[in-house]
Amino acid sequence: MKRRVLLVEDSATVRGRLREVLESDPELELVGEACDGKRAIELCQELRPDVVTMDMMLPVMSGLAATEYIMAHCPTPILIVSASINRGEVFKTYEALAAGAVDVLEKPRGDEPDGSWERKYLQTLKLVSRIRVITHPRARLRRPDPDPVQRSSEPPPQREYGLVAIGASTGGPGAIVEVLRGLPPEFRLPVLIVLHISEPFGSAFADWLDTQTARPVAYPSDGDLLSAASGRVVMAPPGRHMTVQNGRLRLTREAERHSCRPSVDVLFESLAHECGSTTAACLLTGMGRDGAAGLLALKRAGALTIAQDEASCVVYGMPREAVLLNAAQRVLPLSEIAPTLRRATGQRAGGLP
């Protein structure tokens, strides 16, 4: 069955090019076109496409506003197709991802090898079209969980934790923001994050995330002391693995893991070796299996291990793999992850109850 596509782009030139690309693929059917956000919403409600390819900078109503409305009222997988050179547009793209858009692809610059951008666009669009999305914000939704042991309300034991580590991929921007906003100002543990995000959009993500929470967020330099990150969020920079060795943050360009660099597994495995039971680790929404083996290594080292549950995930891929490995001590809705971290690390987080 063909995947039905709604094309949203205000530039007639770009829209024409994307139309030609879409119509060249026998697996896709272009069912509608819109040149502003308001019309995009109307067509999405009328046509019920399988996927929307969405520009960010639109007249009448922005791509961000259209994305927020669509995800709240007629949830549909959305691929953002946006420019990466304008900081304001990049920030809007992050906000759209946090609002429920599935993925982002840079607009063609014109200097790509012949046909390469078009192949990537079609491949990404087909992948996005098959992702089940639900009404946003997802954390307010609940489904019964058949596993009462992993979802037990029994609080995790408090002990002297040294850091929190978070891994995420597809759907990660919104999930990470929710977890960080759920941590109180007194929470002084370093928070280390690995997020898979399409290049070149990863380069400014830490700057954007810094505007979403009172907790400072930055990319580290190779050799930074972990102790200097107290009360801060440290993100693995694009194209570099991040590890902890001998109390320092290390950045490397070693081989990709699961086609990812940075890799969640690489960070988690280093923490299992270096920090063991003083780590609290969370594996959030994402496609693939990066992070599952690392979460298992942390569990075996005595760490607190948490996986996001299926109902609140944009893509229940990475957390599912962790659950199948029995790597997660807790499988929790997104809204319960920050409170669980607060309870577990209470003595180290400024004496929180």
Catalytically active residues are 169, 196, 290
What are the backbone dihedrals phi and psi of residue 338, each rounded to the nearest 5 degrees, phi first?
Answer: -60, -45
DSSP 69-114: HHHHHS---EEEEE-SS-HHHHHHHHHHHHTT--EEEEPP-S-SPT
| 240 torsion bin: left (phi>0), alpha (psi -120 to 50), beta (else) | beta
Would you state the structure tokens that stand for residue 47, as one six-digit string?
Answer: 């046509």
Would you state the structure tokens that stand for residue 159, as one six-digit string?
Answer: 């002990």
Locate tokens 């994050």: which residue?
193
Cα–Cα distance, 286 to 317 (Å, whole number): 5
Apex 141 CA angle, 138 and 142, nearest 5: 135
Taking alpha carbons only, the member of 222, 68, 72 closest to residue 80 is: 68
Would you state the structure tokens that stand for residue 40, as one six-digit string?
Answer: 């995009």
